[in-house]
Structure 1
Amino acid sequence: MWREVKVAATYGGMLHTFPWNGRGSIVALPPGDALYELQLGLRSSYTHLRGFSTTSATWQTETLDRTRNIGIIAHIDAGKTTTTERMLFYSGFTRRIGDVDEGSTVTDFLPAERARGITIQSAAITFHWPPGEVDGSTLQQTGADGAPIPRSASPHTINLIDTPGHADFTFEVMRSLRILDGAVCILDGVAGVEAQTEQVWNQASTYKIPRVIYVNKLDRDGAAFGRTVREVSSRLGVYPAVCQIPWFQGGNGPFVGVADAIHLQGLRWKEGEDGRAVKMADLQQLEAEEPSLAQELRRARIALVELLSEQDEAIVEKFFECDEDHLAVSSADIIESLRRCVLDQSSRIVPLFAGASFRNMGVQPLLDSIVNLLPSPPEAPDPEVSIGGVKGGLRRLLSGDLIVEQSEQATAPSKGKQHKKKKSALQSDSKDAISKLQSCALAFKVVNDPKRGVLVYVRVYSGSLDRNSLLFNTNLHLSERAPRLLKMYANDAVEVDSIPAGHIGVVVGLKQTRTGDTLVSYAGNKATPPEPLTSLQLRPIAVPPPVFFTSVEPHSLSEEKRMQESLALLLREDPSLHVTMDEESGQTLLSGMGELHLEIARDRLINDLKAKASMGRIEIGYRESALGASNPITKIFDKEVAGRKGKAGCMAVVEPLDEDASPEQVDQDTLLLEMYDGNRIIIRAPGLQAEHSRDEETSPFLPPGMDLVTFRAALQNGAMAALARGPQFVFPMHNTQVTLTVDPTSHLFGNETTASALSAAARQATAAALKDVQAGAGTTMMEPVMNVIISVDEASLGSVVHDISSSRGGHIISLDEEVPLPGTDASPTSQSALEEEQLPPIDPNRVYAPPDPFETPSIGVEIPVSTARPRTITAKVPLKEMVGYLKHLRSLTAGRGTFVMSVDRFENMSSQRQKAVLAELRGGF
């Protein structure tokens, strides 16, 4: 027999689910158990709570300890947006639950997102949990009876960021992660730990972000909670602290709820309802109704306490106080122990929860865990800053110590009393400079909104960013005024007067600020803060190199300017997009992180920014090279140029360039020996002695009015013009050496020899020498070869190596010897992986995981740790084969493979490959 009561607050706010109109929800409770109600923190009286209004024009000054800046990270289609919609509904932010399939979600508001049913750009939204207004009072730690009160008993402000899950939008996740204090990693209970989950997990580890795990979709056929738990330990390298286990009706029936190992109770939701009404049962009731579940719940509680005891000494003392009874340890002590482990960066324990968001099950306990376990802004790891080349924590900057250290390094060290006086003066000046620093913020995202203009999302780290304040951009070294400030609710916004420290907001009206810029405001609205604050950098974002590229062509020449302006705006929004101009083909090349990434960029370019352009195929820049040496060819140019007679001669010899061999010894007859675009040009003029006269180089053998600089430049330009077009395939020449010889007695004709005549003679001689090579040894085509570094797992290594060496004409250079590409830094993800490799591996078969009701011997019994071992392949592959390679690599590696590449060199093509490329260029495709 159960009775129904109206409640204003339940334990941890988990059942405190007031709808928009403020009326309490109906919750079923066991009858006549006053102690049970007291432990749950329930009150039988109804208290009216005001709904969270989105029309407020002021920013409420909540205390930072009641604020959570969190993000939701996961593989694509794990249920991030679905879970976010339930959070908004239960918090009273929305009146109805949005559906991804219907395109009615709050956070996926872009047309492209609703059409594809995926998240493309991260969306920020603010709500309160439990529902209610957050006041400025201090959090009450204990109740009237002295028992600890959980944090989730009082309303908290949650700034939530819903991030994309597709691998093409990894950079979108990276720039969101940098400003978060905590994260919720959502796993698909059917698919387990997927490829992109590993990527975003490594990124979060790099930024030292505390996390909790939520196993979703346990209502679907094939869901395996136990297997997923073991995969967490093997693939993510952490100890899963199982806080909830799934409740299947009768042991093998449908999923109806979760059993909570922290509170030793069962939470059951009714199928088909909105999830606000929850039936709770304690351990004794579960023993009567679901004995197998109660027995497994005991095992989960014992495993949870044992795991926490390995990392937290405080829980060991509590365990001994309870006479070594795992079930007697209070839930409040377990929550505090979990929180200490989550905030401890050296701990590998991660709390794990269960649910089915689409069926409205398990979201309220997840919200409680966010408030109870994840850190507030003051508790989060100190963000790294850089000032004048000196790196340190933000707290050291605000105390003035970092500026003192930077100033000491910038000035010469002194000794004795003078040094002490100087140091004290530096400390005084630094404290004075920091005291006038009004705010410090990081612009982590720039969005072009069709209605509001350019929106700059900022995370304020210190002070308060006020409206109309003058913001100095330390990256661009310019100042911009912030005319409007907004607090975002996905696509909706509320105008506010200031954004306090620890919060996320939007600045409207900034014309230059880009993603990743640091913004500071100084007392008195000074346009430029004093040194060294002008060099302050807050967590600068390292842009990953692009791996997918295509051409962008305007519909007409008149549309080219509009297209370039739109591309510049896209680059300001998304620094992971790159725009380059191919000098040979004249194509504008757009490169990014994948095919879908560029497809979305094209849609935004055409539909949102109204640029009239289209994307086409990439033109590969091939080259031509001589296979042998030509005979000496002499040409005399004798024509009128621009109404003036011109006459000059030149002899040219063309031969293959041996890069390994050192060039001939430079003697006094050699006027020039220079490399240009992979070719070497040598100019010789026997007997042309140079006489240095002040600023000019002159010679008595030169024509009147011509110096050696003009003489060399004319011959060089002529040779370069001839090398721009090969004799056989009309591609630019490469790896070719041209030797031009000018005999002053037979090739120079006094006043008739002009610079243009010399240039024409050199061009004709070089072109004739190239034709002579074609008639003799011939020429061959060359293609650009990329230096490629591919990261795969152990299981995919063989198939990727075979594909590179056989199907794509590449050759493997090394395995597991990663060398940073030229001009790039080692990625933080790879550094994090190296650090994690040093930790002892976790045996997944020793990790507690409840048995799956439908588990077969072939699923989840043994998970070898070696399958998750990362392997690195370094190879050289023709550029043509790398066009579209990302999609193929993902199919070979089940989505886990990634790669970066850079141009290495041009190499000669085999005759078979040359025929295939020529057939394709001539239209055989």
Structure 2
Amino acid sequence: MVVAPLLRSPKGMRSMVFRLSSKLNYYTFPRCHLPRQCFSTTPTLLNDAAALERTRNIGIIAHIDAGKTTTTERMLFYSGFTRRIGDVDEGSTVTDFLPAERARGITIQSAAITFHWPPGEVNASSPDQSLPRSASPHTINLIDTPGHADFTFEVMRSLRILDGAVCILDGVAGVEAQTEQVWHQASTYRIPRLIYVNKLDRDGAAFGRTVREVSSRLGVYPAVCQIPWFDRGNGPFVGVADAIHLQGLRWKEGEDGRTVKMVDLQQLDAEEQLLAQELRRARIALVELLSEYDDHIVEKFFECEEDHLAVPPSDIVDSLRRCTLDPTSRIVPLFAGASFRNMGVQPLLDAIVNLLPSPPETPDPEVSIGGAKGGLRRLLSGDLIVEQNEKAASLSKGKAKKRLVQQTNPKEAIGKLQSCALAFKVVNDAKRGVLVYVRVYSGSLDRNSLLFNTNIHVSERAPRLLKMYANDAVEVDSIPAGHIGVVVGLKHARTGDTLVSYAGNKASPPEPLTTLQLRPIDVPPPVFFTSVEPHSLSEEKRIHESLSLLLREDPSLHVNIDEESGQTLLSGMGELHLEIARDRLINDLKAKASTGQIEIGYREAALGKAGPVTKIFDKEIAGRRGKAGCTATVEPFDSKDAESEQAVSDEAVLHIGSHDGNQIVILAPGLQVDRAPNSDEETSPFLPPGLDPAMVRASLQNGALAALARGPQFTYPMHNVRVTLTLDPSAHVFGNETTASALSTAARQATAAAFRDLISGAGTAMMEPVMNVIISVDEASLGSVVHDISSSRGGHIVSLDEEVPLSATDASPTSDTAVSEDQLPAIDPRRVYAPPDPFESPSVGGDIPVATSRPRTITAKVPLKEMVGYLKHLRSLTAGRGTFVMSVDRFENMTAPRQKAVLAELRGGF
């Protein structure tokens, strides 16, 4: 029978009640439409610990076209947030609201949305411990992330603020290349995950093969909680069989999926005997797997007289939750469904609530403050600052290059911290202006509070706070710890900035808090660029304002101006990345400009040593005389030796730093540096008033960076170069005439002159980006693709069907306590339970069945120039089935013939 849901209050809807009959029973999921006010929870409720326990901050991660946005649309529909199911092909989805997303049918920008599951009003009352967590409404803050490799940075900046994630796999394609990449990125932040195998309704879907690929390619043990239900064993996909509750869930074809037929094990024995037998095997395998990691389930197993089927479902759910939240466990719950056919999404929502953590249950987020790194909770207790001061006291005070923060009363300073938040996303909204998405980690971010940006040391007011529902919003008075919200009206905040509020109305917080950093992230180097030209000189200012807004939104974009041509160059991570940025600049921001063809960002390297070259700058600037000198030496540099170079103890060294593959060493022999007690301020008697060692360090470094931006022979940025700047106070400092700008100009001129000496000496060579390419094809296309890569494109094959560690640009480092996945032993797929797939043929002499058209993975190193436009060529080679992802592996010197050919092509020759 179909039972209508039971209403508990006029505002919302509580748990549903249904009756079980002896033969058939149905569960009707609600389709309630709550008033928007129901979604804007009050600060009183949100500050309550019980309400925070009912909050889930999750993300959807997957390879492109695995069904992330489609699954998200079903979640919004079943939670009552939307009245109709959006379609990616129609461009009517909630989370893909940008015009470029709807035109292309892909996710470009991660979208944040808040809904409740089950539908209802979240309150702070204590839940009934006898019921599962999914029996009471929970607040779910969901982020739908992109799947295309060009937007990997968008995924990275979203992952670091999540508490849990759902990884969606294509049941036909299995574990794809980009899936592995985002999986490893989630592992760097130790994010608990669920796996959802989607698209099981399509021809060629192989659930069992996908489960085995999860174990072999992702390095985890899949805890199979559901197996697919194919009608009569080899018919169409109609539902799932639940190994936890030992029941079948069947959806009716063509409906919206709200009504589910629930069939117990006895009925399955009568109607679907093969499915019932497989469901028993799945339950046995699930209990056995959990028993290896959880002692509680072992005790329950013995209490049930060693009967796997008698173990209560609630104990299995609790055991799954413990294993999922344990960072040392390799168990990941796995579910099945077909989101486009409206099957399997509601049980997935229940699993999100039951198995993924609330904000208080997540690992302590890593922070850095001054020279110390540790957990946020240790910082708030004051232990981290005390430990840092102890380290600072044990170090020699004579090393001027060490910047150590001294604090006499650390707990008093930390006690003034009212809130700490991370700005993980900046979006320009046409109606509301610039929206800064924040995750609050401690305290409560209140409206009109003064926020200090520890990255750029600027204080700003937060005039308005919002809770976002994709492109819609509700205004709130505060955003408590553990929640995600939006700050409107910030003029300087960028993606990745740490924002703190503190007691008092001073311009900046107490000293230790000014260096606080929450989970810093490394921006990968851009490899493509295009020119941006305004239609007229009057539009030039508007163009630069629009470009600066784009850079605030997406730090993986870069803008620089070519000194020789005066062109403005926009650089990005890939062809599609730049194409989207160009469309946003012209169509969304209404910039009146034209763009050139997308080009490759080459580099220039020194082949030998040049210098030393000394330059004295002596010129009047803006009515004030400036005079300073500097000596520069340039030589090749290997980034692998950077750590050993930094470890050199030399009193003359004022600064050593690496920037975009180059190293800058600043020497100041004879420059005495004094440090005031209980302070990090530096002074020197050899410097004129108004100039301190920190300003000297920054000025010389900026001058070297300006010279490194342009090579002497091919005008490309320099790479793998060490610049050594020497400042002799007796010869290069001229009293009050020596200013910071004069020092910077002298450093730039000396470095550029040393580069020019390279042309007549050892010379320079062009460098090109070499990409780490992972290509997924089927067995039939393997030979043609390998031949094309190795012969036509000048690449070399690294491996077939093997995982390759990601480069340093693909993942941010984690704390030292995290265990690298590469150090864990490999998992034998034969030990993993996986149900048999329909239409599969047995392997020859093996126990594991193999699909008739097995997917293959090719890993290769290929020059970026040969990968431009490769997707169309790959699809023609593989009948449209091939996909690939790539990331920058390194910059490599070109051979002389290849350099000559590339230069001829760039100059218009052949």
Which TM bucket (shorter chain)?
A: 0.7 to 0.9
Of 579, 583, 588 in structure 2, the residue corresponding to residue 603 of structure 1 is 583
Instruction: Compute the displacement of 1:140 (Å).
Output: 2.4
Equivalent positions of 1:553-568 (< 5 A) are 553-568=533-548
Partner deviation per Cα, 1:564-589 (whole Å, 9 max, x = no partner):
22111111100111122333444332
Of 111, 114, 118 in structure 2, the residue corresponding to residue 126 of structure 1 is 114
Equivalent positions of 1:38-53 (< 5 A) are 51=34, 53=36
Partner deviation per Cα, 1:301-325 (whole Å, 9 max, x = no partner):
0000011111111111110111000
Q: 1:169 to 1:674 in 2, by over 3 A?
A: closer
Of 136, 139, 145 in structure 2, the residue corresponding to residue 163 of structure 1 is 145
Partner deviation per Cα, 1:260-319 (whole Å, 9 max, x = no partner):
000001111111111111111111111111111111110000000011111111111110
Instruction: Compute the displacement of 1:444 (Å).
Output: 0.3
Q: 1:382 to 1:800 in 2, by over 3 A?
A: farther
**Residues 125, 490 of structure 1: 8 Å contact kept:** yes
Equivalent positions of 1:732-811 (< 5 A) are 784-786=766-768, 788=770, 790=772, 792=774, 807=792
Q: 1:5 to 1:790 in 2, by over 3 A?
A: closer
Of 580, 585, 590 in structure 1, the residue corresponding to residue 560 of structure 2 is 580
Counterpart of 1:635?
none
Of 453, 462, 474 in structure 2, the residue corresponding to residue 482 of structure 1 is 462
Equivalent positions of 1:497-512 (< 5 A) are 497-512=477-492
Q: Which amino acid aligns with 1:268?
A: R
Of 74, 80, 83 in structure 2, the residue corresponding to residue 86 of structure 1 is 74
Distance across 1 between alignment mates of 2:270 and 2:336: 23
Matched, 1:300 2:282: yes
Distance across 1 between alignment mates of 2:602 and 2:269: 75
Distance across 1 between alignment mates of 2:99 and 2:313: 45
**Residues 453, 500 of structure 2: 8 Å contact kept:** yes
> What's the secondary structure of 2:70's corresponding residue?
helix
Counterpart of 1:743?
none
**Residues 514, 572 of structure 1: 8 Å contact kept:** yes
Distance across 1 between alignment mates of 2:534 and 2:31: 60
Partner deviation per Cα, 1:853-896 (whole Å, 9 max, x = no partner):
222347972599x99999685x8x6x865766798899999545
**Residues 390, 406 of structure 1: 8 Å contact kept:** yes
> What's the secondary structure of 1:575's corresponding residue?
coil
Q: 1:111 to 1:342 in 2, by over 3 A?
A: same
Counterpart of 2:333?
351
Q: Which amino acid aligns with 2:321?
A: R
Deviates more, 1:565-574 or 1:51-60: 51-60
Counterpart of 1:109?
97
Matched, 1:251 2:236: no
Instruction: Compute the displacement of 1:432 (Å).
Output: 2.5
> What's the secondary structure of 1:532's corresponding residue?
helix
Counterpart of 1:535?
515
**Residues 607, 763 of structure 2: 8 Å contact kept:** no
Distance across 1 between alignment mates of 2:253 and 2:459: 56
Counterpart of 1:237?
219
**Residues 602, 767 of structure 2: 8 Å contact kept:** no
Equivalent positions of 1:131-146 (< 5 A) are 131-142=119-130
**Residues 793, 896 of structure 1: 8 Å contact kept:** yes
Of 813, 822, 826 in structure 2, the residue corresponding to residue 837 of structure 1 is 822
> What's the secondary structure of 1:597's corresponding residue?
helix
Partner deviation per Cα, 1:793-833 (whole Å, 9 max, x = no partner):
89999999987875456899999999999x98986499999
Of 590, 602, 606 in structure 1, the residue corresponding to residue 570 of structure 2 is 590
Counterpart of 2:352?
370
Q: 1:840 to 1:857 in 2, by over 3 A?
A: same
Counterpart of 1:691?
none
Q: 1:435 to 1:891 in 2, by over 3 A?
A: farther
Counterpart of 2:896?
909
Instruction: Compute the displacement of 1:783 (Å).
Output: 6.0
Matched, 1:848 2:833: yes
> What's the secondary structure of 2:590's corresponding residue?
coil
Instruction: Compute the displacement of 1:84 (Å).
Output: 0.9
Partner deviation per Cα, 1:638-694 (whole Å, 9 max, x = no partner):
xxxxxxxxxxxxxxxxxxx99489999xxxxxxx9987999xxxxxxxxxxxxxxxx
Matched, 1:405 2:387: yes
Counterpart of 1:270?
252
> What's the secondary structure of 2:511's corresponding residue?
coil
Distance across 2 between alignment mates of 1:903 and 1:225: 40
Instruction: Compute the displacement of 1:837 (Å).
Output: 2.4
Of 21, 32, 36 in structure 2, the residue corresponding to residue 30 of structure 1 is 21
**Residues 610, 633 of structure 2: 8 Å contact kept:** no
Partner deviation per Cα, 1:761-781 (whole Å, 9 max, x = no partner):
xxxxxxxxx9xxxxxxx9999
Matched, 1:70 2:58: yes
Q: Which amino acid aligns with 1:259?
A: A
> What's the secondary structure of 2:42's corresponding residue?
coil
> What's the secondary structure of 1:228's corresponding residue?
helix
Partner deviation per Cα, 1:592-631 (whole Å, 9 max, x = no partner):
2211111110110000111122222367899999xxxxxx
Identity rate of aligned residues, in percent? Answer: 74
Partner deviation per Cα, 1:46-83 (whole Å, 9 max, x = no partner):
99998353477663523211110000111111111111
Q: Which amino acid aligns with 2:519?
A: R
Partner deviation per Cα, 1:431-454 (whole Å, 9 max, x = no partner):
332332111000000000010000
Distance across 2 between alignment mates of 1:792 and 1:829: 24
Q: Which amino acid aligns with 1:59?
A: T
Counterpart of 1:696?
none
Distance across 2 between alignment mates of 1:817 and 1:364: 33
> What's the secondary structure of 1:410's corresponding residue?
helix
> What's the secondary structure of 2:570's corresponding residue?
strand
Distance across 1 between alignment mates of 2:160 and 2:354: 22
Instruction: Compute the displacement of 1:332 (Å).
Output: 0.4
**Residues 20, 93 of structure 1: 8 Å contact kept:** no
Distance across 2 between alignment mates of 1:393 and 1:384: 5
Of 300, 313, 321 in structure 1, the residue corresponding to residue 295 of structure 2 is 313
Q: 1:661 to 1:897 in 2, by over 3 A?
A: same
Which segments of 5 or more consecutive residues in structure 2 lack a partner in the other structure?
397-405, 614-629, 637-706, 718-755
Instruction: Compute the displacement of 1:484 (Å).
Output: 0.1
> What's the secondary structure of 2:820's corresponding residue?
helix
Distance across 2 between alignment mates of 1:620 and 1:407: 47
Counterpart of 2:179?
197
The TM-score, its normalising length taken from structure 2, stands at 0.74
Instruction: Compute the displacement of 1:151 (Å).
Output: 0.8
**Residues 234, 868 of structure 1: 8 Å contact kept:** no
Counterpart of 1:735?
none
**Residues 450, 462 of structure 2: 8 Å contact kept:** yes
**Residues 552, 616 of structure 1: 8 Å contact kept:** yes
Counterpart of 2:730?
none
Q: Which amino acid aligns with 2:457?
A: H
Q: Which amino acid aligns with 1:469?
A: S
Q: 1:331 to 1:99 in 2, by over 3 A?
A: same
Q: Which amino acid aligns with 1:381?
A: P
Q: 1:327 to 1:661 in 2, by over 3 A?
A: same
Q: Which amino acid aligns with 2:148?
A: H
**Residues 206, 837 of structure 2: 8 Å contact kept:** yes
> What's the secondary structure of 1:278's corresponding residue?
strand
Partner deviation per Cα, 1:499-548 (whole Å, 9 max, x = no partner):
01100000000000000000000123443111201111011121112233
Instruction: Compute the displacement of 1:155 (Å).
Output: 1.0
**Residues 55, 494 of structure 1: 8 Å contact kept:** no
Q: 1:535 to 1:109 in 2, by over 3 A?
A: same
Tell me how large the CA RMSD over aligned residues is.
4.8
**Residues 624, 781 of structure 1: 8 Å contact kept:** no
Matched, 1:454 2:434: yes
Distance across 2 between alignment mates of 1:47 and 1:286: 26
Q: Which amino acid aligns with 1:921?
A: R
Q: Which amino acid aligns with 2:491?
A: K
**Which of the pair has more CA radius of gyration?**
1
**Residues 80, 162 of structure 1: 8 Å contact kept:** yes
